[in-house]
Amino acid sequence: MVNRAINFRRSGLFDWIIQRFSAVVLAAYTIFILGNFLLYADMDFHVWKSIFDSIFTRVFSIITLIALCAHAWIGMWTVTTDYITSLQFGKNATVLRFVCQFFVFLIITAYLIWGVQIFWGS
Amino acid sequence: MLVSIYRYNPETDDKPVMQDIDIEVPSGKDLMVLDVLALAKEKDPTVAYRRSCREGVCGSDGMNINGSNGLACITPLSDVVIPGQKLILRPLPGLPVIRDLVVDMSIFYKQFEKVKPYLLNDDPAPGIERLQTPEDRAKLDGLYECILCACCNTSCPSFWWNPDKFIGPAGLLQAYRFLADSRDTASTERLEGLKDPFSVFRCRGIMNCVAVCPKGLNPTRAIGHIRSMLISQGT
């Protein structure tokens, strides 16, 4: 049982919509990347770089990165509130869950900053 | 035939044990699991289980029969046991055991209560009754027939994990039964109470509830309808 859930007063409906919307963005990006491989049969570093030099790819990549981070946070928040509950971990569950969620948050934030640097770097 | 029954008395036993009871099944007859339990109880009168109507209406004898939840009174042996193998009976999973196959259903009822499973209508009551068109009445088919046996909730992993927060298939089926009722005027308030991250949205569409429902109902579809209503209301 989850006694105190850190959910930043979100609504389940909002989470659910974000999960579905971000999944569509991720699927579209996957198709976009695979499409590039199909389009450029002789893909090498220069072609790859030119794809990522375009503003469209950069913006699409950043949007996808944000979608991925949102998807991961909602997903991991859900997993931790499913599995790290007082039924399994007794009264330490809240602290343990908070620690796990904190690390997930840190990792996601780090990936987000790192990703923006990669896509928007020189 | 061997019947393996979960035995546990929390007041005296350290842990549950499975007790094998050998019973004589009359040849040429396909008994119901509840009949087999009655034969087992003749051998060992201390076996505890709930039963009442013995025809799938009261929902008292929900239990885990060879790994799948069902009503003992309407589950034929031939459906669940391969000839020569044991019949394994356990209590409904995820609820505290009171004794043997008898579980404490308090949390299940608490979740049911949360959805206000009764008509809410502030309009002045008409002289005789609130009328409904046959079309509106037909919308309630497949929703009102639930007998609250708890087979669905106790086969749902989301309910095992968060039984105090996720309403569960039985409660949500009833929630939709009143959301879909043309005579109910509290849809907005009902939906408001369901949009948190746990009450409805813990449903993962696993559909164990649909697979085990002894009345052939489809809570997953009802939950889908609730989600659609929440989206319509939220946008």
A11–B197 CB contact, under 8 Å: yes
Its pTM stands at: 0.89
* Inter-residue long-range contacts of B27-31, CB under 8 Å, 24+ positions, other chains counted: B30/B76, B30/B77, B30/B78, B31/B76, B31/B77
- Best probe of the A interface among B111, B161, B227, by most A CBs < 10 A, is B161
Nearest to B10 by CA among B82, B102, B75: B102
Contact B91, B97 (CB under 8 A): yes
Q: Position B26: which residue type?
A: P
Exposed/middle/buried for residue B141 (C-beta within 10 Å: 0-12, 13-18, 19+): exposed
- B111 contacts chain A (CB < 8 A): no
**Distance (Å, whole) CA A4 – CA A92:** 12
> What is the tens place of the pLDDT at every residue in A51-93?
999 999 999 999 999 999 999 999 999 999 999 999 889 999 9
Q: Position B152: which residue type?
A: C
- Expressed in angstroms, the distance from the first to the final Cα of chain B is 59
**Chain A residue set in contact with B, beta carbons under 8 Å:** 1-2, 5, 7, 10-17, 78, 81-83, 85, 87
User: Among residues of chain B, what percentage have pLDDT more than 70?
Assistant: 100
Nearest CB among A1, A11, A13 relative to B162 is that of A1
Three-class secondary structure of residue B186 per DSSP: coil
> What is the tens place of the pLDDT at every residue in B33-83?
999 999 999 999 999 999 999 999 999 999 999 999 999 999 999 999 988
Distance from CA of A5 to the nearest CA of B (A): 10
Considering only the top CATH level, what class is A12-120?
mainly alpha
Q: How far, in Å, are B118, B122, B183, B230 from residue B127 at the CA level?
A: 20, 15, 15, 34
Residue A38, token pair as written in the block: 């199909």
Strands B68-71, B62-65: parallel, antiparallel or unpaired by DSSP? Answer: antiparallel
The domain spans of chain A are: 12-120
Give me the sheet containing B68-71, strands edge to edge. Answer: B17-22, B2-7, B87-90, B62-65, B68-71
Nearest to B86 by CA among B33, B48, B7: B33
The CATH fold assigned to B2-103 is Ubiquitin-like (UB roll) (3.10.20)
Looking at chain B from residue 211 to 230, which residues have their Cβ under 8 Å from any Cβ of chain A?
227, 230
B196–A11 CB contact, under 8 Å: yes
Contact B180, B139 (CB under 8 A): yes
The domain spans of chain B are: 2-103, 106-234
Distance from CA of B199 to the nearest CA of A (A): 8
- pLDDT score of A33 more than 90: yes
Please state the ipTM of this predicted complex. Answer: 0.81
CATH of the domain spanning B106-234 = 1.10.1060.10
- B163 contacts chain A (CB < 8 A): yes
**Distance (Å, whole) CA B177 – CA B171:** 10
B227–A16 CB contact, under 8 Å: yes
